[in-house]
Amino acid sequence: MVLSRRDFLKQSIGSSALVSASASLPCFLARTAAAVPSQVPRDDTILVVVQLAGGNDGLNTVVPFRDDLYAKNRPTLCLSGEKLHKIDGDFGFHPQLKAFYKLYQEGLLAVLQGVGYPNPNQDHPHAMRVWQSSHIKPDASQTGWLGRAADQIYHPPSARVPAVYVGQIPKPFTMRAERAIVPWVRSLDQYGLKGSVGEIRSAASDDSDQGRPSSRHEAAGSPPPPDTLLQFVQRVAVAAQATSQQVEAAAKASRGEYPRLQFAQTLRTIAQLIRADLGIRIFYAELGGEEPGGFDTHAGQALNHGALLEQLSESVAALANDLKQDKLLDRVILMTFSEFGRTVAENGRRGTDHGSAQPLFVMGGKVRGGLIGKHPPLDDLEGNGQRAHTDFRRVYATLLDDWLKIDSRSVLGEKFRRVDFLRT
Amino acid sequence: MPLDTEKTDPAWAWAAYQPDAQRPWDLRLAGHLYRRAGFGASWPQLQQALREGPAKTVERLLRPTEDVAALNRLHDEFEGAMDPESESTDTLRAWWLRRMMETPHPLLEKMTLFWHNHLAIPRNRAVHGLSVAKHLQLVRSHALGKHDQLLDAAVHDSAMLVALGGKVNRKAQPSLDFARAFLEELTVGPGHYSESDVQGVARAFTGLMVVRHRFRFVEREHDDGPKKILGRQGPWNGHDAVKIALAQPSTARRVVAKLYRWLISETEPPSDTLLAPLVEAFANDYDISGLVGTMLRSNLFYSQAAYRQRIKSPVEFAVGIVRAMETLVSAEPLGHELAEMGQDLCHPPTLKGWAGGTCWLTDATWIRRNNLAWAMLSGAEPYAGKLDPWAVARKHGFGTLVKAGRFLADLFLQGDLSAASREPWERAIAQVEAAKGNPSTTVRTLAHLAATLPEFQLA
């Protein structure tokens, strides 16, 4: 079988977008890349995890407006029924979650209610570490659950990274992996190759296929030999140049409209990286900033909380619309979480304190939209917050096994029952 | 070239290399030695090595005649002035990088890095910055000394105890985490110990405490009853546990194999037969400097089985460029940049250290390498023109653009370019000849091209 140079590149880098970029690739490198065996076909579902730092008040996010106990516990923060975006006769989204309500109506958004773990920790860094490591006792955890997932996807020698963190605060622990070096992307400018190396190399191109190292093996019909170390590095150099060009092209082609909000811009960057088709399977983003985080609303909660929810929902909806345009939404699932929910009762300062269970949002083309799981009753509390009935690791396990197709046991250390929020 | 380590004769492999007509001592091998035993060579160092031959150069690398102690004392003082309350090691990281760039004893820093990777202190538990600084100084002081002294000192010290979960080792509640890490990562390794050994080691280490960031031995918390560790029964304490674990052949084999990967090749795992003579010697004398010397002098080290059979870590890549340019750069931004490439000094990702090898390079880290080399060599901030390849070339008598280009190929790659790289390189030199711009800028472009050729990523 004789393959064209384009086919070789496509196989060795595993990217379709590269085909268009390969014309300008330096041929001397393209030839060495041609000697490289093709990689296994990519399984290209994508997970975006969004951290809401501070402890989101789930009770004022998805509101049980008919529950008398709700009004009783929230003398000033109570959101009345008429302002809410009503899901049914009992529940409604916060007034500033208009965009989420629309996604919900379209069947793209699921609300997983009552998620947490027994005896929840109520200290910010500790609780965040629990969610980021997936270990209830996280002291000994050296890696994050998404870092471990990245390591499961990553098979060195590989020229591609399986996971990326996009954000403005330092890379969170959850992306810490044993092997994979997860990039921290603040801006797509980082993908630009500086210097004039590209020009010199491109000028050194030729049109012939002379010296193609793999020709002998092709003739014999046997697979090419494994990479030498030098061949691997050459392959990475080609991939890097292709990556740089693909990101530039994807950024230019970007048509999606995003609100002028920091978090929306983060999601826009993620959409561009998805479009650049770099083989990234896991993205991590954050809203709320560094510890203790913007969702930590101990006093004067209403305004801040509303603004954050609006930023969250408008930005996620913009991402959904953007991805829909290229039929990418079926490949992407976004999940939000916070380190804990908040107390059911408000605290006398028009705020709430650290609680326990919370609702998670899951959005995507393959999500089974709707309210999933019961709203935890307001008369059976744990740590003054709502009592969790769904272990958060069941949600992780579902995303790992059924979405990313990674054995969840290898990431979480044990098996968890799945939660039914994916369409089959 | 891959090596069949089963078939390699250990006697030949570890005998000292004697240059002859077939395997002459040349620039390539001198560069190879300096990359492994240090962070790459400057032009004068390459020339000196060529004149003096391998034996004398290895000796110079092991025991330099310059005043190393003075530099290290000065740096220790700088590090001692760190904020005693902070967990941040950003300053420490910068000082260490500075030491790597500046030291007349690069092999010592290379071996400190080796042990930093082996005795890794992951930072998932809160370790104080000053404790990490002390730990590094301790590791450095034994890095070319004796393995038994190094390990004994490292586990009786605050940073390792805290990082490995052994901050509090009470008689009533021995720390199993610490004991397991000691057996699993620091000594015998997986498959060479049982759960009852973990119990025994944990009891031996009772009484070891870290109080206000300082190591303390609290006699009344030590369990002095009999315990069994790796088949030996006795009233063991922490020092005994170290001795017993070190006496196991698997411990010596593990360190020798790791050092083989560090100094010789990461492409082919060595066979037991090949390592046997080194393991036997090391299990006897714990002499790190002896082991390193044997490897650096060996036939195997100067063979194709070792040549360019490692990928440079980000630190090796960056410090190598700086040392070749005979200068120093601002170490704080460099430390940040290297962390983004996956090598955050003083912050190894896990107890296993950095995975290294092909894990260092992906499209993303390649772009960062390219851009770091450009930032340093283009004369831009934050490195502010400290590197000036044109000035270095002229200083050594390469006063035309074309000569400077050939000089850079020799300095960075000892002239050893693959066919795939030679083509663009020669094209670039030809372009340089025709160039009319500022020669300093032109040479910067060439230097950047040399530093981003695939060959330059290999150690």
pLDDT in tens, B8-44: 899 999 999 999 999 999 999 999 999 999 999 999 9
Reply yes or no on whether the pLDDT at B262 is more than 50: yes
Q: Are B175 and B165 in contact (CB under 8 A)?
A: yes
- ipTM of this predicted complex? 0.96
pLDDT, residue A35, reads 36
Chain B residues with CB inside 8 Å of A243's CB?
363-364, 367
Which positions 259-288 of A are in contact with B (Cβ < 8 Å)?
A: 278
The distance from CA A375 to its chain's CA centroid, rounded to whole angstroms, is: 26
Residue A110 pairs in a beta bridge with A362, A370
The distance from CA B108 to its chain's CA centroid, rounded to whole angstroms, is 9
Taking CB atoms and an 8 Å limit, are A234 and B358 in contact across chains? no
Structural domain contains residue B207 = no
Nearest CB partner across the interface for A159, out of B349, B350, B363: B363
Chain A residues with beta carbon closer than 8 angstroms to that of B454? 230, 233-234, 236-237
Determine, for residues A29 and B418 on separate chains, whether the beta-carbon distance falls below 8 Å.
no
CA distances from A118 to A381, A383, B182, B224 (A): 12, 10, 32, 39
Neighbours of A96 (CB within 10 A): 20
Instruction: For residue B384, tell me if it sits in a domain.
Output: yes
Domain that holds residue A150: 5-412
| Residue contact A28–B423, C-beta within 8 A | yes
Residues of chain B positioned with their CB less than 8 A from the CB of A140: 124, 165, 177
Which of B127, B347, B360, B363 is the best substitution to test chain A (most A C-beta atoms within 10 A)? B363
Question: Hey, are the CB atoms on B125 and A200 less than 8 Å from each other?
Answer: no
Count of domains for chain B: 1
Question: Would an 8 Å CB–CB cutoff place A178 in contact with chain B?
Answer: yes
Instruction: Name the token pair of B332.
Output: 């704080």
Residue B422 has pLDDT above 90, yes or no: yes
Residue B326 resides in a domain: yes
Q: Which residues on A lie below 8 Å from B352 (Cβ)?
A: 178
Closest CA to B179 of B423, A166, B160: B160
Nearest CA in chain B to A188: B364
pLDDT digits (tens, 9 = 90+) for B277-311: 999 999 999 999 999 999 999 999 999 999 999 99
Residue B369 belongs to domain spanning: 314-457
Residue in A closest to B374 by C-alpha? A195
d(CA A15, nearest CA chain B) in Å: 13
**Taking CB atoms and an 8 Å limit, are B349 and A143 in contact across chains?**
yes
Task: For residue B184, give the amino acid letter.
Answer: E
Please indicate whether residue B247 or residue A9 has the higher confidence score (pLDDT): B247
Tell me which chain A residues have a C-beta less than 8 angstroms from the C-beta of B362: 158-161, 181, 236, 239
Rounded mean pLDDT, B178-201? 97
Separation in Å, CA of B104 to nearest CA in chain A: 30
Question: How far is Cα A370 from Cα A107, in angstroms, rounded to an integer?
Answer: 7
Q: Do A178 and B349 touch (CB under 8 A)?
A: yes
Asked, for residue A420, whether it belongs to a domain, the answer is no
A391 in a domain, yes or no?
A: yes
pLDDT at B433: 81
Minimum-distance CB partner of B424 among A184, A201, A233: A201
Nearest by CB to residue A141, choosing from B124, B362, B419, is B124
A-chain residues near B419 (CB < 8 A)? 211
Chain A, window 129-168: residues with a beta carbon less than 8 angstroms from a chain B beta carbon: 139-143, 156-161, 164
Do the Cβ atoms of B124 and A181 come within 8 Å?
no
Q: State the amino acid at position A376 in one-letter form.
A: P
Contact state of A236 with B308 under an 8 Å Cβ cutoff: no
Q: Are B311 and A181 in contact (CB under 8 A)?
A: no
SS3 content of chain B, % helix, strand, coil (to 5): 60, 5, 35
Measured between CA atoms, the residue of chain B closest to residue A176 is B349
* Contact between chains at B363 and A195 (C-beta distance less than 8 A): no
Q: Write out chain A's pLDDT in tens, 424 residues.
A: 333 333 434 443 433 333 333 333 444 444 444 333 334 334 599 999 999 999 999 999 999 999 999 999 999 999 999 999 999 999 999 999 999 999 999 999 999 999 999 999 999 999 999 999 999 999 989 999 999 999 999 999 999 999 999 999 999 999 999 999 999 999 999 999 998 755 555 444 433 333 333 333 333 444 556 679 999 999 999 999 999 999 999 999 988 999 999 999 999 999 999 999 999 999 999 999 999 999 999 999 999 999 999 999 999 999 999 999 989 999 999 999 999 999 999 999 999 999 999 999 999 999 999 999 999 999 999 999 999 999 999 999 999 999 999 999 999 999 999 999 999 8
Bridge pairing between strands A385-386 and A381-382? antiparallel
Alpha carbon of B4: minimum distance to chain A alpha carbons (Å): 15
Residues of A with Cβ-Cβ distance to B364 under 8 angstroms: 161, 164, 181, 183, 240, 243
A230 vs B308: CB contact, 8 Å cut-off? yes
B230 touches chain A (CB under 8 A): no
Please write the tens of the pLDDT for every residue from A100-114.
999 999 999 999 999
- State the pLDDT at residue A39: 40
User: Are residues A86 and A344 in contact, defined by beta-carbon separation less than 8 angstroms?
Assistant: no
Within 8 A by CB and 6+ apart from A316, the residues are: A50, A99, A100, A103, A267, A334, A361, A363
Residue B273 lies in a domain: no
Count how many domains chain A has: 1
- The residues near B167 (Cβ < 8 Å, ≥ 6 apart) are B125, B161, B175, B209, B210
Coil/strand/helix, residue A327: coil
Set of chain B residues whose Cβ sits within 8 Å of the Cβ of A158: 358, 362
Residues written for chain B: 459
**What ranges in B103-190 are assigned the alpha helix state H?**
106-118, 129-142, 147-155, 158-163, 176-181
CA of A182 to nearest chain B CA: how many angstroms apart?
8
Nearest Cα residue in chain A from B341: A181
CB B27 within 8 A of CB B65: no
Distance between CA atoms of A65 and A76, rounded to whole angstroms?
14
Pick from B358, B362, B427, B444 the residue to mutate for testing the A interface (most A CBs within 10 Å).
B362
**In this structure, are residues A367 and A15 in contact, taking their beta carbons and an 8 Å threshold?**
no
What pLDDT score was predicted for residue B84? 82
**Is the CB of B455 inside 8 Å of chain A's CB atoms?**
yes
Residue B169: inside a domain = no
Confidence band, pLDDT 50/70/90 cuts, at residue B7: confident
Please give the pLDDT value at position B436.
Answer: 78
Three-state secondary structure string covering A212-266? CCCHHHHHHCCCCCCCCHHHHHHHHHHHHHHHHHHHHHHHHHCCCCCCCCHHHHH
pLDDT digit string (tens) for B424-444?
999 998 888 887 788 999 999
- What percent of chain B stands above pLDDT 70? 99
Q: Which residue has the higher pLDDT, B233 or A140?
A: B233
Instruction: With respect to residue B291, please indicate whether it lies within any of the assigned structural domains.
Output: no
- Surface of B (361-400) touching A: CB under 8 A: 361-368, 370-371, 373-375, 378
Task: Enumerate residues 325 to 384 of chain A having a beta carbon within 8 A of any beta carbon in chain B.
Answer: none
* Contact flag A181-B342 (C-beta cutoff 8 Å): yes
Instruction: Give the model confidence (pLDDT) of B309-333 as tens digits.
Output: 999 999 999 999 999 999 999 999 9
Average pLDDT over residues B254-280: 97
Which residues of chain A have a CB within 8 Å of the CB of B309?
229
* Predicted pLDDT of residue A210: 34
- Token pair listed for A206: 């030729």
